[in-house]
Each structure stands twice: as C-alpha cells, then as structure tokens.
C-alpha cells in the first residue's frame, strides 16, 4: 500500500435550464476529480421524469465505457450528480458505490457525499428502530433517510433539517428529478465550489472540474450553507452559523496543485510550507529532492528558501498503475520500487529529501534506502506537515492509530527506522502560516473541531 493518507471522495453536480449532455459533462468532470477517489465511480442523471444511475467499482474510465454512458444520455437531461469514491466508512463493495438512490415520499432522491458524519451510527440505530430500511453500509444513507423521513417538509427544508442533526466534516450534492442541492458542513472541513455554466450551474469538490467543463468559478460554498437552483437562479440558505476550520490536508496533499480552495491556492501554499520548513529545519546539504508528486511544491519552497538546487532525484513511473491488493510486506516494497527509482542526480551528494507526510514510515524507509544505494552520501528527510498521531473522522483514511508511526515512536525512533541522517517535520504554526487561516489539524493534535464519535464507538458502520 502506498504509504499516504488515502484520498477522500469527489462530488460533482450539474443543473441546466436547457437539455444538455449531462452524462458526458459529468464523466469529463469526474476525470478532474479522479485523484480524490479511485475505488468506485457513479453518475445519476434525470430528464425531469426519469432518473437513471450507473455506478461500479473501478476508475472513472473503467466504469464508464460507451455502453454505460449511452444508458445515461437521456435526450432531455438537465440535472445530474456524480461521485468518485474511496471507502472510509463502509466496505469497498459495489452496493456502496455512489450516488445512492432512494424512493421516498419526495420521489426518487440521489445523493453523493464526501466526508463522514461522526454521529451516523446513533442516528442509524434510531432510524432502524423507527422502521427505516438500509441497503448499504455507508453513512451517506443515513442522511438520505433523514431527509426522506421528513415527509411534511419540502426537499430544501427537509435537507436543512437533516444538516442540523448531522455532525462531522462533509460536502454533499443531492438531487431529485428536477432539483439540485449542494451543502457543506458548518466547519467547511470538506471543500465544495460553485461554477456558472452558460445556462446553468455546477457544484464540484475542486475548481479544476469547473475549468474542464468550461464553467466560470463563482465562489466556494460557505461553511454551513445549503445552495440550490430554483427558477433558474442560485438560491442560498445559511443553515448553520459558520465556524470555518477546513482540512489542512487539502493544501498539504489532497487537492490538485491547480486548485484554489477557500481563496488559497494549493500549490502556492505547498511552496510556502517548504519555505517554512527550511526556516524551521535547515540541513547541511547540496541538493533538494522531492518525493514525486506529493513533495514537489514543498521541495520547490525549500530550495527557494535555502538557495540549494532542486533536482528530480527520483523518477516516478506513470505506468505502475494502482494495486488494490498487496497482501504482504514484500509486495508493498515491490510496489514502491515499481513506482519510484533513483536517478544519477543524487550520486555523491548530501540530499534533502522532501515529502508531505509520513504515515506508517514504510515508503519513506524504502526511498531513503534506494537513494543511499544509488550513491547519496547523506539523506536528510524533511516533511511539510506535522507528525500524524491521530485518526481522521472527517473522510480521510489515515490508518488505525496503532499503525501511525508517529503515534508509537519518538522523532529519533522514526529517524532511525527510516534510515535518514536527520528528520524534521513542519510545525502546526508553520502549516497555519503557510495556509494563512484557521484549519483543522485534528490528525496532528487530536483536537476535533467538528466533533468525533462517542467514546468506544466506531465511526465506520461496517469495515
């Protein structure tokens, strides 16, 4: 397994005043969000009368061949949502792929969700006791059941009521046959942006999806806000008072380098993290080498601040692919060697190796060993985030705490394990300075701004 926090999910929604190739646009937009989830993909489309869903396990282009896309191409389609998934709660099973659909008193609803509801389990138990039926093991279905249960309310008001009950970090796109809604948790932990089409609107996890569709970026969905299209106009309902603490890992690692989230460009933030990292932990070296692709921005910043040359001392193969099952340590090591190999740039050099994070430490250990075997005299590891010591409850799989090397070992013990000549992590203050605003640092310090599951209660409904 590639030793990184696993991607979250990507969500996308389109509303158009006139018939459109909604399926084709959603398919294209999902490709810009593929980095956010690589286990499953799905699209739901409606022409106002019929709502059709296609989804399956696999990458976007594996799931959506021409046959599947043809089924989604309703002649009068004007509304649709899409999802690319990494399973954080619920097993990686086909029936957990999204969008999820449910038939209710409000008609057919489809929902796509990025993040986690930390109080999903008690709400699910309550709904089961009241006679609700669940078809999946994901917490996403809890929200759609909450909405469906509020039979006396229109869809927008029912969704707002569900928002008030749910805790955690999440962004959601939701549709019936004619309406498209999008919402974000009150802390804005998970991102969501709004774009304008010629005669419609797009909601997406990140701006590159808007760019690919030719949509004009309007703004981010505000924390605690519910937005929807009514009468061809974008409507807003501030359901919860905003308490913004967006996930720092969006800028550290997850978001595409060309994304701008909550007004902060991810690549520029990564460069600033690298500059902060040099100020906090300079190294006696001759060369800065990034771990591709995740360490590139921070390595640029470190090189810029230090005056050291930046060299691509590691080659990343674009053909290694993604291995879903690597059951042994030997297979994991082989996977690392398939992905990365050292170049001659490191021969006889003292190297600063820059990456964004260390989770288990296995990949860092292999890379340090490869560089030394390739002739690097010294390898000084610099990480552009603090040590990950706590699990994330908001939609990132950071591994169980017992598997987090920083939760079990001291800085010196980690350095010795990975075989580096020195090791330093960026401080929490350095991350905040680089991003320039309040952020969620729960996986580093154990302080959960959007709440966490009750003591002794698992977040996942089924693992």
Please, which pLDDT band fits residue 154 given cuts at 50, 70 and 90? very high
Looking at every residue in the chain, the average pLDDT score rounds to 90
**pLDDT tens figures, 245-299:** 999 999 999 999 999 999 999 999 999 999 999 999 999 999 999 999 999 999 9
**pLDDT tens figures, 306-343:** 999 999 999 998 776 543 334 455 555 666 667 899 99
Alpha helices per DSSP H over 150-236: 155-165, 207-213
Lowest mean pLDDT among 46-60, 87-101, 201-215, 300-314: 87-101
**pLDDT tens figures, 104-152:** 888 899 999 999 999 999 999 998 888 777 877 778 889 988 998 888 8
Rounded distance, CA 95 to CA 62, Å?
Answer: 17
Phi first, then psi: give them for residue 121, nearest 5 degrees. Answer: -60, -50
pLDDT at 312: 95
Rounded distance, CA 183 to CA 81, Å?
Answer: 13
Q: Is 222 helix (H, G, I), strand (E, B) or coil?
A: coil
Which token pair is 455? Answer: 């003591």
Residue 178 has pLDDT above 80, yes or no: yes
Lowest mean pLDDT among 1-5, 44-48, 82-86, 358-362: 1-5
Question: In the beta sheet, which residues pair with residue 1?
Answer: none
Q: Which positions are annotated as active-site residues?
A: 9
pLDDT at 462: 32
Question: In the beta sheet, which residues pair with residue 200?
Answer: 16, 197
Name the DSSP class of 35: G
Phi first, then psi: give them for residue 200, nearest 5 degrees. Answer: -175, -165
- With 0-12 / 13-18 / 19 or more C-beta atoms within 10 angstroms meaning exposed / middle / buried, residue 286 is middle
**pLDDT tens figures, 345-383:** 999 999 999 999 999 999 999 999 999 999 999 999 999
Residue 94 has pLDDT above 80, yes or no: no
Alpha helices per DSSP H over 112-249: 120-129, 140-149, 155-165, 207-213, 249
**pLDDT tens figures, 9-31:** 999 999 999 999 999 999 999 99
């Amino acid at each position: 397994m590639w030793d990184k926090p696993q991607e979250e999910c990507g969500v996308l929604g389109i509303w158009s005043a006139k018939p459109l190739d909604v399926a084709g646009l959603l398919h294209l937009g999902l490709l810009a969000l593929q980095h956010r989830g690589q286990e499953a993909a799905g699209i739901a489309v409606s022409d106002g009368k019929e709502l059709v869903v296609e989804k399956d396990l696999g990458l976007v282009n594996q799931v959506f061949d021409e046959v599947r896309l043809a089924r989604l191409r309703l002649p009068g389609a004007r509304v649709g949502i899409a999802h690319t998934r990494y399973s954080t709660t619920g097993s990686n099973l086909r029936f957990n792929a999204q969008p999820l659909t449910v038939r209710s008193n409000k008609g057919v609803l489809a929902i796509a969700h990025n993040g986690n509801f930390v109080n999903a389990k008690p709400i699910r138990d309550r709904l089961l006791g009241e006679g609700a039926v669940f078809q999946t093991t994901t917490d996403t279905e809890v929200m759609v059941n909450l909405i469906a249960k509020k039979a006396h309310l229109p869809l927008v008001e029912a969704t707002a009521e569900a928002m008030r009950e749910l805790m955690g970090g999440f962004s959601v796109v939701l549709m019936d046959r004619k309406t498209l809604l999008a919402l974000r948790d009150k802390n804005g932990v998970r991102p969501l942006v709004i774009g304008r089409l010629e005669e419609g609107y797009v909601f997406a996890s990140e701006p590159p999806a808007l760019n690919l569709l030719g949509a004009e970026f309007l703004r981010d969905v505000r924390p605690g806000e519910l937005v929807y299209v009514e009468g061809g106009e974008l409507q807003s309902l501030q359901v919860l008072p905003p308490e913004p603490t967006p996930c720092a890992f969006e800028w550290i690692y997850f978001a595409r380098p060309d994304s701008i989230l909550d007004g902060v460009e991810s690549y520029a933030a990564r460069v600033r993290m690298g500059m902060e990292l040099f100020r906090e932990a300079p190294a006696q070296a001759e060369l800065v080498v990034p771990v591709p692709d995740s360490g590139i921005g921070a390595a640029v910043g470190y090189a810029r601040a230090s005056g050291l040359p930046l060299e691509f001392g590691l080659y990343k193969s674009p053909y290694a692919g993604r291995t879903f099952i690597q059951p042994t340590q030997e297979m994991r090591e082989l996977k690392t060697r398939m992905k990365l190999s050292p170049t001659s740039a490191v021969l006889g050099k003292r190297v600063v190796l820059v990456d964004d994070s260390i989770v288990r430490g296995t990949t860092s250990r292999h890379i340090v060993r490869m560089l030394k075997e390739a002739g690097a005299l010294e390898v000084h590891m610099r990480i552009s985030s603090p040590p990950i010591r706590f699990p994330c409850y908001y939609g990132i799989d950071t591994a169980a705490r017992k598997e987090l090397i920083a939760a079990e070992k001291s800085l010196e013990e980690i350095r010795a394990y990975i075989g580096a000549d020195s090791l330093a992590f960026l401080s929490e203050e350095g991350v905040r300075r680089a991003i320039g605003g309040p952020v969620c640092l729960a996986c580093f310090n154990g302080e959960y701004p959007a709440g966490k599951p009750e003591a002794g209660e698992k977040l996942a409904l089924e693992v």
